[in-house]
Amino acid sequence: MSSPLLESTVVVTVSYNSSAQLAVFLDSVAGSEADPVSIVIADNRSGDLDRTRSIAAARGARVLELPDNRGYGGAINAAVATLPSPIEYILISNPDVEVGAGAISLLLDELAGDPRIGAIGPRVLNVDGTTYPSARKLPSLRTGIGHALFAHLWPGNPWTRAYRAEHEGADVRRSVGWLSGSCLLVRREAFEQLSGFDEGFFMYFEDVDLGYRLGKAGWSNVYFPRAAVTHTGAVSTSAESEKMIRVHHESALRFLEKKYSAAHLAPIRWALRVALSVRARVFMMNDRRR
């Protein structure tokens, strides 16, 4: 007999020309649990859709073919909207992730055991076995600016360490400001209460924003390192790199303007806009020189 929690769970991933990663991801989900887990692939109008269909069909996954590219959050929202009402839990994951043994059940048991938890995230490992800082504090003006200015020049700076909550330790279960959207389990009730991801974020910061809004709504975000996944990381071409830099900074600005939206904070929003615009240009210039 399959687990009642697994029967109430669906794994949702997003594909955009991601067929090269899909088979490994789907196989890792199947191998992570003794019982089967339902999977939906939201495809953002990929050029390799035929290959995605074939891989999904061979592994019993369903493909939701979207008519346009809605970005990460938009595609996840579209997939969640198709799920039947008995589904209570949704594992949101990138397709370039390998799910560790028992990871889904471990996350489910922890989430189901505490009705205050809206989202829970596993330890995210890099391919070399090191831990990626996937559970962070919400960026404040102080830590955000310090991290933005010094993260690449001085990786061990105190603002980056504080933002990444490095002093907490990678082995410690704890409440956090937000969890990486590369892999997290959400309670459907909490996710739908917020109308899912803010689709104004095409890429980047949709997970930061989700964690922020969950906290404001009274839910907690929990890092649970007993469960682990490995994020292999998608490889972007150099032609796409400049676009990604621009989109990343636009999303950062969108989040900070939402967080600091009060009328009297208008000068701060203006300063952030200027600073992030300059930073994006510097990063794009450096990228062109490589």
Q: Report the DSSP beta bridge partners of residue 11.
A: 39, 91
Q: Single out the residue in 186, 213, 231 at which a domain terminates.
A: 231
How do 117-125 and 131-132 pair as beta strands? Answer: antiparallel
Q: Single out the residue in 231, 251, 266 at which a domain terminates.
A: 231
Over residues 46-60, mean pLDDT: 98
Closest of 44, 106, 83 to residue 188, by C-alpha? 83
Q: Are residues 248 and 178 in the same domain?
A: no
Q: Are residues 148 and 273 in the same domain?
A: no
Q: Are residues 194 and 248 in the same domain?
A: no
Specify the number of domains making up the chain.
2
Taking the C-alpha atoms of residue 280 and residue 278, their distance in angstroms, rounded to an integer, is: 5
pLDDT of residue 278: 75
pLDDT of residue 23: 97
Q: Are residues 170 and 214 in the same domain?
A: yes
What is the extent of the structural domain holding 285?
A: 238-289
Query: In this structure, what are the phi and psi dihedrals at residue 124, rounded to the nearest 5 degrees?
Result: -105, 120
Q: Are residues 61 and 197 in the same domain?
A: yes
For 207-234, how does the pLDDT look when each residue is reduced to its tens digit (9 = 90+)?
Answer: 999 999 999 999 999 999 999 999 997 5
Instruction: Decide if pLDDT at 236 tops 80.
Output: no
pLDDT band at 2 (very low <50, low <70, confident <90, very high): low
pLDDT of residue 239: 42
Q: What is the mean pLDDT of the chain?
A: 91
Over residues 38-48, mean pLDDT: 98
For 136-148, how does the pLDDT look when each residue is reduced to its tens digit (9 = 90+)?
Answer: 999 887 887 787 7
Q: Are residues 212 and 242 in the same domain?
A: no
Q: Are residues 150 and 75 in the same domain?
A: yes
Over residues 67-93, mean pLDDT: 98
Q: Single out the residue in 192, 210, 231 at which a domain terminates.
A: 231
